Amino acid sequence: MKRISDKITHKNKIISIKNNRLHIYKRSGSNFWQGRMFLNDTQIVKSSGTISLANAKKVLGDWYDEQHFKVKHNISIKNSKVKDAVDKFLIWNDMTTSIGSVTKKGYKDQFNLIKQYKNLMNQNLNLVTSKDIEGFIAWRMKKAKSQGKVLRGATLVANITTLSKFFNWCVTEGLLEKKHRSLGNIKKLLSRKMRHQRTSRAGFTKIEYQHLLKSNRERIKKGRSIRDRFRAEQLHQFIIFMVGTGLRVDECLNLKWSDVKAVDRQANTTEKFLHSDLRYYLEINVSQSKTNERQAQGLSSAYYAFVRLVKLYRDTGMRKVFVDDETIFGVKSFREGMNSLLNYANLKTKKIGDQYVKMDSKSLRNTYIQFMRDKNVSTDYIRKNCGTSSAMIDKYYTANSTIDSMLDVVLMTGRVKLKAV
């Protein structure tokens, strides 16, 4: 004989037990029995994970008792690990009829990979933040690189889409507190975070940088006079020189001929803190700086920009070369030419998340830092060459490195079909 507290009533397929405080029912599109109850004026729900009513009453009845025990003894009722919730989600994924077989397989394949990121899997579900998501993205990039692969934006978006679906499901099932429902829209969450944390020190991506140089080549060809073409060519080499050295704009423009030495390593084995085996590079004495005087080095690209400047000056006769007390570029600013080029190339502003950032000559220094970090060059080398601190690089420049380029891809990419990675 059933106890009064376990009296079962059938009304609209809702079965009530535990003195009518626990309601068992089936949601549309699901074969599983669900449980629903109120605790501390908050409704929580749970899937039984079974289609058997008898088993569902046992599972959900135990759940009811467990949750009330935790409330009575002031124990958090929502403290499961992400990995435990993922296991429950995958069971639901196998049994539900609300999604198609292709999507089911997509979620399963995605989690085969996502579950490898233990930092997220071992996190308390209700303590997950945007930093955990960024950590996952950084891990995905590192994993792809270690395998000699390039992580495509669409692939990463599929990962993020899967996680968003999972967190939404956790809210619906009562595993995740409603105050964390923003995890169900990770793209919006990352966009809001980036809006608050981004700085104006944005750099160009490799594609943007190539487009910038290509656009300037077009402008050089269209120059109406020798002087116009000379200025455009000089600007061209200035851009390459900046991205190849990481100098500040004023440091670059104040360089004198005596401050720069072009080095061929086959003829000169001098090495100070050179990060790689470059045959051609520049040794630069940065004497006029906002920080202390320092020795910097220019990459091969800066070396060739320097060589081409010498050739330009000699061929046109516009400037003398190797006059110790004269500056190499001989101008106070490239602001007008740079702004004109950026407008021509449609790169004057850059959308980062939902914010537009103004680009200018200063963006070239950040481009250098981005490119060097993408090549896994040590922060110590970069800070020495740029005359800054590791803290400044992390605070102002890392925010625009590869990981945030991938965040931008996530924010700008729409829905994608889920597939195995």
Domains in the chain, please, with CATH?
4-72 (no CATH), 82-197 (1.10.150), 206-388 (1.10.443.10)
Residue 402 near residue 370, CB atoms below 8 Å: yes
Q: Is 297 helix (H, G, I), strand (E, B) or coil?
A: strand
Q: Which residues contact 300 (CB under 8 A, 6 or more apart)?
A: 244, 278, 279, 280, 281
Which residues pair with residue 285 across a beta bridge?
295
Is residue 98 within 8 Å of 29, Cβ to Cβ? yes
- The amino acid occupying position 58 is K
pLDDT of residue 417: 44
Contact 384, 294 (CB under 8 A): yes
- Cα→Cα distances 362→249, 335, 397, Å: 6, 10, 12
CA R_g for the chain: 30
Q: Which residues contact 184 (CB under 8 A, 6 or more apart)?
A: 164, 167, 168, 171
- Are 245 and 299 spatial neighbours (Cβ–Cβ below 8 Å)? yes
Compute the CA torsion angle 153, 154, 159, 163 (nearest 10 deg): 100
Residues β-bridged to residue 349: 358
**Residue entry with tokens 């110590």:** 380
Query: What integer pLDDT is reported at residue 268 of this predicted model?
Result: 55
The pLDDT assigned to 218 comes to: 94
**Closest CA relative to residue 89, chosen from 163, 33, 36:** 163
Report pLDDT for 397. Answer: 58
Q: Quick one: angle between helices 335-344 and 206-222, nearest 10? A: 100
> Is 42 exposed, middle or buried, given 0-12, 13-18 or 19+ CB atoms closer than 10 A?
exposed
**pLDDT values of the chain reduced to their tens digit, one per residue, 421 residues:** 334 333 334 345 789 998 888 999 988 777 888 898 887 677 788 888 888 999 999 989 988 888 887 676 565 555 678 999 999 899 988 888 888 888 889 899 999 999 999 999 998 887 888 778 878 888 887 888 788 776 776 777 788 888 888 888 888 887 777 766 666 666 665 555 444 444 446 789 889 999 999 999 999 999 889 999 999 999 999 999 999 999 999 999 999 999 999 888 765 544 443 444 567 889 999 987 767 788 999 999 999 999 999 999 999 999 989 888 899 999 999 999 999 999 999 999 887 655 678 899 999 999 999 888 888 888 888 888 998 887 777 655 554 444 445 444 444 444 444 443 3
Given a contact cutoff of 8 angstroms between Cβ atoms, the answer to whether 85 and 120 are in contact is: no
Asked whether the whole model's pTM tops 0.85, one would answer: no
Give long-range contacts, CB 8 A cutoff, 24+ apart: 232-237. 232/337, 233/312, 234/309, 234/312, 234/329, 234/331, 235/334, 235/337, 235/338, 235/341, 237/305, 237/306, 237/308, 237/309, 237/312
pLDDT of residue 32: 85
**pLDDT value at residue 93:** 87
